[in-house]
Chains A and B, each alone.
Chain A
């Protein structure tokens, strides 16, 4: 059980001594992983020989797809991490999670329209959506603890009601949260794509906003990991994931903890809505799209595991982007193919808790 606790909050938690042990235990897997990383680095950094260009097309396409997959994974991580956090602690499959995402996006759009400020809109979306999450936990889920089927059905119902309410307020239009001036346009990265015959190097130009958003999601991921592993509340959450009843019996106000985690997970979804609305767009239907994406991500990564959500998000993001470039006809199938493979060979998810 103690082992599961460490895993729930992070594979990285087992790092240090754990890493060496793991390499010892699976030398082949470790070797393959190291090789794959080296190959990837080489693909990104090296000047491609012609043979390879014939195989994979121009280097720019490959590197862009890689970057796009990673940044899209950052967005998926933001949405899925709240979902998986809530599930990990409360065993509560919140199928209204996509609605929280969409609600956050709409709120941020209205905030930016009213004030013209982009960063504060994150705060607005986080706080208001967290309040919605809090209300959901206190008014609805608290009364059906442990009844998974009922919770699932109620959350589906709620997601439909929310979708209609949002359609009523914001209409069927699609909105784009305007990117602030300082984030608009591309930046030149130091990655060389091509060397022109005259010796001049062509660098990769990449949208600034996507890089910033990816950096932000990494920061959030690390902060979350620190919070769960290094703080008292985090300790309580870990204990709750392991054994709820025991934790409640030892006098911890577990309902308060549940409410807090639910609010936080919802707030994260709301913030993800701002991100999604900035580099993509928000409209009715996005709620189910992102619910589906987070479901796939957490099924691949392992329900309840935050590193699992990160890995799943990365895999799905990469699969979508590489699929759309190299095999556009089947692009949609890829993420589901990954899910099917994971379900077939490791049904508990790649980095699952139990």
Chain B
């Protein structure tokens, strides 16, 4: 009897000690696409996250940070599985997720069902995520796909003189959003999009699409990413393609420009737009690039950070900064955390970022051209910087709403 009592006491004190320790720690759940087509994107995203962790010395709001990583493959159901595991099984305190567009819409819907949890978007960029039925506990510190194309349509119409283009994109919400952003600007000036090709995410054989590309256009817009982008370029080179290229934000990005093989050479001279540019001279950006290069050995990273590394870094920085401001106190059901985060202005490597009333980022966008740098790496060189890009692309809200939501065919290519 005595022994049992003793045992029980020991157990109880152990449980107490564990509870005390748990209170000192904050558990952060992160998802990234570490499988499938977008593997390299997820890996570089995690590098960005790691950079933020190191900057904060794995402590925020006076508490040690414990990180739980879950892997997805860019499909909405894999993202839901991953965040469910983080929230329901690992019992994390905050979630930073997800990476890809359609995942974002799914996680926002999940966020509606978990009002006590707060979700900070990691990198996803579909417009609907924050524009339609936004969740009060979902924050997005990166711009959406349409914002990331700000300035591109204008630049290719006025500076490059392109009048007719065709688009090739992966068949899901992020690329719809990118083409949306391009079309609003390019078609608004009088440009024409003659054809839009959509290929399933993870397509391996692009040969027939490549053959179907029209000849009578000034340039071809490519909205592909990761393995799809590299496969396309490889097969395009084999087929002897030589059209002028306009690129989406993850097409002309270090995730593709750093890939092995000759295929990427096709991207030399390509015009693109994104929430960052490899060669921006701003000291904050340069410092970030240096931190990235110092943190990882050259064979374990790209020549310079990708858009994903930047987004993950920013999302993590925003989260940690907010935690610091509220001393890591989440005991009020995240109320203080959300209020503080909504008002935060982030001094990010890619320009200042603040949130609108839907908790969607307003930030800086970059139009770039691909050039070869002194070391022989392909990099995106800034040709134009657009500041304060908001989700309605500078249009009044009702006019923007009238455009409808991004889809395979929307918006129509016409003057608005």
Contacts and interface: CB of A to CB of B under 8 A. Distances in A.
A285 B36 CA distance: 7
A281 B227 contact: yes
Contact of A61 (B37, B199, B208): B208
B39 A68 contact: no
Interface stretch (B89-97, B103-111, B229-237, B342-350): B229-237
Contacts of A175: 260
B263 A207 contact: no
Interface stretch (A33-41, A142-150, A319-327): A319-327
Contacts of A69: 208
Nearest to B71: A172
B35 interface: yes
A184 B226 CA distance: 22
B298 interface: no
Contacts of B211: 60-61, 64-65, 68, 325
A173 B40 contact: yes
B227 A321 contact: no
B283 interface: no
A185 B234 CA distance: 10
Contact of A178 (B171, B198, B261): B261
Contacts of B198: 328-329
Contacts of B43: 172-173
Interface residues of A, number: 42
Most A CB contacts (10 A, CB to CB) among B202, B204, B226, B227 go to: B204
Contacts of B39: 172-174, 283-284
B197 interface: yes
Contacts of B396: none
B34 interface: yes
Nearest to B231: A281
A189 to B, nearest CB: 12
B238 A209 contact: yes
B208 A64 contact: yes
A263 B198 CA distance: 41
Contacts of A71: 207
B281 interface: no
B35 A328 contact: no
Nearest to B39: A172
Contacts of A336: none
B207 A184 contact: no
A184 B238 contact: yes
Nearest to B210: A64
A349 to B, nearest CB: 24
Interface size class of B (residues with CB under 8 A): 35 or more
Contacts of B207: 64, 67-68, 71-72, 207, 210, 321
Interface in A253-286: 279-281, 283-285
A322 B39 CA distance: 29
Contact of B199 (A57, A172, A210, A324): A324
Interface string B213-246: 0000000000000110011001101111000000
A283 B205 contact: no
A206 B230 contact: no
Interface in A284-313: 284-285, 289
A328 B199 contact: yes
Contacts of B171: 328
Given A178-B261, A207-B238, A324-B199, A285 B35 contact: yes
A172 B34 contact: yes
B209 interface: yes
B37 to A, nearest CB: 8
A215 to B, nearest CB: 16
Nearest to A64: B211
Contact of B35 (A67, A172, A279): A172
Interface in A37-92: 57, 60-61, 64-65, 67-69, 71-72
A332 interface: yes
B200 interface: yes
A64 B262 contact: no
A179 interface: yes
A126 B263 CA distance: 27
B225 to A, nearest CB: 12
A176 interface: yes
A208 B36 CA distance: 28
B402 interface: no
Contacts of A322: 208
B212 interface: yes
A279 B210 CA distance: 14
Most B CB contacts (10 A, CB to CB) among A172, A186, A205 go to: A172
Contact of A176 (B35, B40, B261): B261
Interface in A181-225: 184-186, 205-210
Nearest to A328: B198
B296 to A, nearest CB: 15
A162 B35 CA distance: 16
A228 interface: no
A331 interface: yes
A13 to B, nearest CB: 32
A205 B210 CA distance: 12
Interface in B257-298: 259-263
B35 A210 contact: no
Contacts of A332: 200
Interface in B17-37: 34-37
Most A CB contacts (10 A, CB to CB) among B36, B39, B43, B227 go to: B227
Contacts of A328: 171, 197-199
Most A CB contacts (10 A, CB to CB) among B207, B212, B231, B240 go to: B207
Most A CB contacts (10 A, CB to CB) among B205, B208, B231, B234 go to: B208
A210 B211 CA distance: 14
A176 B234 contact: yes
Contact of B205 (A60, A72, A185): A72
A281 B256 CA distance: 14
B40 A324 contact: no
A173 B263 CA distance: 16
A280 B211 CA distance: 16
B234 A281 contact: yes
B230 A205 contact: no
Contacts of A279: 234-235, 238
Nearest to B241: A186
Interface in B37-74: 37, 39-40, 42-43, 73
- Please give me the 8 A-B residue pairs with the lowest Cβ-Cβ distance, nearest first: A64-B211, A186-B240, A207-B238, A172-B39, A174-B227, A68-B207, A280-B204, A65-B208
Given A64-B211, A65-B211, A67-B207, 13 more contacts: A57-B212, A72-B207, A174-B227, A176-B231, A184-B238, A207-B207, A208-B238, A210-B238, A280-B231, A285-B73, A325-B208, A328-B171, A328-B197
11 contacts: A173-B40, A174-B39, A174-B230, A185-B237, A205-B239, A207-B235, A281-B204, A281-B227, A321-B208, A324-B205, A329-B198
